[in-house]
Amino acid sequence: MEVLVYLVPLALGLGALGLAGFLWSLKSGQYDDLDGAAWRAIADDDPPQAAPKKKLGSP
């Protein structure tokens, strides 16, 4: 059972890493526009100069 001595802190460390990630995402404004973020994920990211190429008919 001595394995707990480092397994439990390891688990907590991973959890804390997750929390740090969440706080970072909050700080960088990722929760400011939830509706927009949903759409951005599926938008094509063409460079602004190039005309967006659209394939008609393809899903």
The site for other proteins (CB under 8 A) is made up of 1, 4, 8, 11-12, 15-16, 18-19, 22-23, 26, 31-36, 39-40, 42-43, 48-49
Rounded to a whole number of angstroms, the distance between the first and last alpha carbons of the chain is: 55
Using the minimum distance from each CB to other proteins, give the nearer residue, 35 or 55: 35
User: For residue 36, what are the CA distances in angstroms to 19, 47, 58?
Assistant: 24, 19, 24
* Cβ at position 24, least distance to other proteins in Å: 11
Using the minimum distance from each CB to other proteins, give the nearer residue, 32 or 57: 32
**Cα 13 from chain centroid?**
20
